[in-house]
């Protein structure tokens, strides 16, 4: 016996296009799903520096970041058929995969070496210090401006989790605040960022 | 331990939950339409944060990645022809009776996803995509002992996600197994090794599938169901 309840219908809303996101990425992914290596190469040329940049920001160690970036693109190659363009941006899909992979790697590596000794976080969030060159792209400036609009606790919570791969419980330890507070700040921070960036939700 | 799952949306989108909490939250997502909306917006927001980290590529990286994919097979859907007559003969009668109730025989081939250990992340993203699809329909079945099985089906994506929670523990040599049924032919969709944890399973190409069923099987699972299903949900 099963009751069927249609979920409330939501608008198929186009999440506002990140500036610079190329709509062709979705069709490139479709070609990649069919085994098209030339399309894959084009895709890599378009998003490689974003994926590598994110992985490297989280992982820090450049050679380890290269390894993980390679794993991410293998994953894209093997799972391109799972991407559905009606449900989100191609670039966001790949960055979501990249972030999870990078965070998994950092947590895995942490078991072998003590990250606290290796990385000095005590100077606070250094999301802008690891950059050799700060991007002047408009959309990147927007992200930095939106981050600067957060409260300090929101910003540190988001930075430590997203850019360094800490769990919220670890963030709470590092900042010496209640874990429940950290979770709330992460959510509040994301709401503020989302609205500031004009992501519709 | 009391946790308000709504508070976890932010940590979830930032990948800041422990693995166990993450699974737990995904089950909550199945119940919470507002959370699914928020997750979509947060994931897009997080991706913008990620894009900001863009960095020039090391020169050799592209070559090594192109070399890697050139020798790597793609995890494309695998099409398995079902020899319906042969399967029917092999099936336990009792299961045919349970599964064949009011089903119409549709396609003759069923497509299942490759199971790969290293694509768990992609699997999770795929599950979220189905659960939050605008045309997703949910059906719920309450099982004996307070367990529930929910199925989210998106016709547009041609995929379904089965979320099961509260299944009673089994003896150590028994497992739960998920089946997709085309006509009266069940095909394994994997084991549900939960250990008390809620679990989600992705089913592809559901337009060919008539029903999904769960049975109890010997350790390691069976080629064909050997017991009466504890749950059958029509697609």
Question: What residue ranges define each of the domains in chain B, with the CATH number in brackets?
Answer: 1-72 (1.10.10.1320), 78-234 (no CATH)
Is A10 close to B134, i.e. CB distance below 8 A?
A: yes
According to the model, what pLDDT value does residue B151 have?
A: 81
pLDDT, mean over chain A: 82
- pLDDT (tens digit per residue) in B88-102: 333 344 344 333 332
Rounded to an integer, the average pLDDT of A182-197 is 96
When comparing pLDDT for A65 and B23, which is higher?
A: A65
B233 bridge partner residues: B212
According to the model, what pLDDT value does residue A134 have?
A: 63
Both tokens of A174, joined, read: 């590092």
- Here the ipTM equals 0.80
A171-188 residues labelled b (16+ CB within 10 A) or e (exposed):
bbebbeeebeebbbbbbb
Burial of B32 (0-12, 13-18, 19+ CB in 10 A): middle
Rounded to an integer, the average pLDDT of A34-61 is 94
Is B61 close to A48, i.e. CB distance below 8 A?
A: yes
Q: Given pLDDT bands bounded at 50, 70 and 90, which one contains residue A8?
A: very low
Measure in Å the smallest separation between the Cα of A114 and chain B Cα atoms: 18
According to the model, what pLDDT value does residue B71 have?
A: 79
B165 bridge partner residues: B148
Name the percent of chain B lying above pLDDT 70: 74
- B 195-234 residues with CB < 8 A to A: 233-234
Q: For domain A19-116, give its CATH number from 1.10.1740.10, 3.30.450.40, 1.10.357.10, 3.40.50.150.
A: 1.10.1740.10
According to the model, what pLDDT value does residue B195 have?
A: 63
- pLDDT (tens digit per residue) in B12-34: 999 999 888 888 888 888 778 88
Rounded to an integer, the average pLDDT of B38-57 is 94
- CB contacts, 8 Å: B77 with chain A: 81
When comparing pLDDT for A188 and B108, which is higher?
A: A188
Burial of B20 (0-12, 13-18, 19+ CB in 10 A): exposed
Q: Given pLDDT bands bounded at 50, 70 and 90, which one contains residue B209?
A: confident
Is A7 close to B136, i.e. CB distance below 8 A?
A: yes
- CATH 1.10.1740.10 positions along chain A are 19-116
Name the percent of chain B lying above pLDDT 90: 15
Rounded to an integer, the average pLDDT of B82-91 is 35
Beta strands in A97-194 (DSSP E): none
Q: Is the pTM of this model over 0.80?
A: no
Q: Is the Cβ of B72 closer than 8 Å to some Cβ of chain A?
A: yes
Both tokens of B63, joined, read: 């070559």
Residues 6+ apart with CB under 8 A from A62: A56, B58
- B 141-180 residues with CB < 8 A to A: 141, 151, 156-157
Both tokens of A6, joined, read: 């249609």
CB neighbours of residue B109 within 10 Å: 11
What's the CATH architecture for A120-201? Orthogonal Bundle (1.10)
User: Which of A126-140, A148-162, B89-103, B168-182 is predicted most confidently?
Assistant: A148-162
According to the model, what pLDDT value does residue A85 have?
A: 75
Both tokens of B71, joined, read: 């020798």
According to the model, what pLDDT value does residue A169 have?
A: 95
- pLDDT (tens digit per residue) in A97-148: 999 999 999 998 876 665 445 444 444 334 444 445 566 788 899 999 999 9
- CATH 1.10.10.10 positions along chain A are 120-201
């Amino acid at each position: 016996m099963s009751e069927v309840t249609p979920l409330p219908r939501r608008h198929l809303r186009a999440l506002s296009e990140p500036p610079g996101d190329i709509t062709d990425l979705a069709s490139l992914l479709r070609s990649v799903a069919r085994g098209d290596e030339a399309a894959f190469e084009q895709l890599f040329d378009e998003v490689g520096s974003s994926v590598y940049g994110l992985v490297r920001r989280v992982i820090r160690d450049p050679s380890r970041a290269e390894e993980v970036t390679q794993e991410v693109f293998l994953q894209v190659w093997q799972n391109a058929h799972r991407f559905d363009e009606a449900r989100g941006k191609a670039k966001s899909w790949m960055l979501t995969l990249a972030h999870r992979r990078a965070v998994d790697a950092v947590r895995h590596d942490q078991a072998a070496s003590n990250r606290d000794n290796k990385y000095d976080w005590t100077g606070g969030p250094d999301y802008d210090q690891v950059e050799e060159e700060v991007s002047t792209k408009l959309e990147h400036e927007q992200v930095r401006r939106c981050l600067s609009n957060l409260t300090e606790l929101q910003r540190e919570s988001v930075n430590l989790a997203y850019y360094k791969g800490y769990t919220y419980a670890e963030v709470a330890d590092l900042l010496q605040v209640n874990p429940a507070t950290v979770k709330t700040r992460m959510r509040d921070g994301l709401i503020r960022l989302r609205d500031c960036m004009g992501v519709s939700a | 331990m009391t946790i308000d799952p709504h508070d976890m949306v932010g940590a979830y989108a930032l990948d800041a939950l422990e693995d166990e909490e993450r699974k737990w939250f995904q089950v909550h997502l199945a119940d919470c339409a507002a959370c699914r909306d928020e997750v979509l917006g947060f994931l897009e927001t997080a991706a913008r944060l990620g894009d900001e980290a863009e960095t020039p590529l090391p020169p050799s990286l592209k070559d090594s990645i192109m070399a890697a994919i050139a020798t790597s097979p793609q995890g494309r859907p695998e099409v398995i022809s079902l020899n319906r007559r042969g399967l029917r003969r092999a099936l336990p009668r009792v299961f045919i009776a349970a599964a064949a109730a009011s089903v119409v025989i549709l396609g003759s081939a069923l497509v299942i996803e490759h199971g790969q250990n290293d694509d768990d992340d992609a699997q999770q993203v795929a599950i979220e995509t189905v659960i939050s699809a605008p045309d997703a329909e949910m059906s719920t079945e309450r099982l004996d002992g307070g367990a529930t099985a929910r199925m989210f089906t998106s016709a547009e994506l041609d995929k379904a996600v089965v979320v099961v929670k509260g299944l009673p523990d089994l003896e150590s040599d028994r497992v739960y197994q998920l089946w997709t049924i085309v006509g009266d032919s069940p095909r394994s969709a994997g084991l549900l090794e939960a250990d008390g944890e809620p679990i989600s399973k992705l089913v592809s190409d559901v337009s060919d599938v008539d029903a999904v069923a769960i049975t109890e099987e010997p350790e390691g699972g069976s080629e064909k169901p050997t017991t009466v299903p504890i749950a059958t949900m029509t697609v």
